[in-house]
């Protein structure tokens, strides 16, 4: 007898379709991971049966599947198309340099927040480390290779951190 479902690793995530689930992969990323599990000889029926099993129970994704007309889920190409129609790719907006600069200048951390452990998305770290990573990411997008914005950003730091870093033009 032929295997009727793919072997899914135990670590493969269920797909919930919940837009507020910030720990989940983006829909397109999740679908690509699922397709990478499928071997070239996997039939459409096997892919679809397995796909149903990796939709999170009692989730918006499972509800979507249940309500989807039978004629729209007979081939894998149909299922993929319907999935992408329900969860379209997110667009990347072009952000102006001024908006990025404003974002950088809006990043602040208070004396009370320094040293606290927080969870943000999938990451657990100290608040000041998360702040520094965010500031660095925006700073890199601004391509401030000469470090002209550093002194402006320093104004958003609490005294405790300012006391521990040098105040030079090369900082």
If we measure between CA atoms, which residue out of 114, 18, 12, 25 comes closest to residue 53? 12
Q: Are 132 and 120 in contact (CB under 8 A)?
A: no
User: Quick check: 4 pLDDT over 70?
Assistant: no
pLDDT of 119 reads 85
Contact between 125 and 131 under an 8 Å Cβ cutoff? The reply is no
Closest CA to 132 of 163, 107, 155: 107
The confidence score (pLDDT) of residue 58 equals: 95
Q: What is the pLDDT of residues 38-84, one digit of tens each?
A: 888 889 999 999 999 999 999 999 999 999 999 999 999 999 999 99
pLDDT at 171 (0 to 100): 44
State the Cα–Cα distance between residues 54 and 34, nearest whole angstrom: 9
Q: What is the mean pLDDT of the chain?
A: 86
User: Does pLDDT of 170 surpass 80?
Assistant: no
Q: Is the pLDDT of residue 94 over 70?
A: yes
124-131 average pLDDT score: 88
Task: Work out the average pLDDT over 136-142.
Answer: 87
Q: Which two tokens stand for residue 166?
A: 């040098």
Q: Which 3 state secondary structure label does DSSP give 112?
A: coil
Backbone angles phi, psi at 82, to 5 degrees: -65, -40
Point out the least confidently predicted range of 10-14, 44-48, 52-56, 160-164: 160-164
Are the C-beta atoms of 76 and 47 separated by less than 8 Å? yes
Three-class DSSP category at 55? strand
Please state, for a pLDDT cut of 90, what percent of the chain lies above it: 37
The pTM for the full model equals: 0.53
Closest by Cα among 79, 80, 84 to 27:
84
């Amino acid at each position: 007898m032929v295997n009727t479902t793919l072997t899914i690793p135990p670590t493969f995530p269920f797909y919930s379709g919940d837009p507020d689930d910030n720990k989940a992969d983006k829909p397109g990323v999740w679908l690509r991971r699922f397709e990478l599990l499928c071997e070239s000889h996997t039939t459409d029926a096997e892919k679809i049966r397995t796909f149903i099993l990796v939709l999170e129970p009692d989730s918006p994704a499972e509800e979507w599947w249940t309500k989807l007309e039978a004629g729209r889920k007979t081939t894998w190409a149909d299922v993929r198309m319907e999935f992408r129609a329900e969860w379209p790719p997110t667009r990347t907006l072009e952000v102006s340099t001024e908006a990025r600069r404003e974002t950088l200048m809006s990043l602040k951390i208070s004396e009370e927040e320094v040293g606290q452990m927080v969870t943000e998305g999938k990451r657990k770290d100290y608040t000041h480390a998360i702040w520094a990573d965010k500031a660095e990411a925006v700073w890199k997008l601004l391509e401030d290779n000469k470090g002209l914005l550093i002194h402006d950003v320093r104004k958003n730091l609490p005294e405790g951190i300012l006391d521990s870093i040098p105040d030079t033009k090369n900082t």
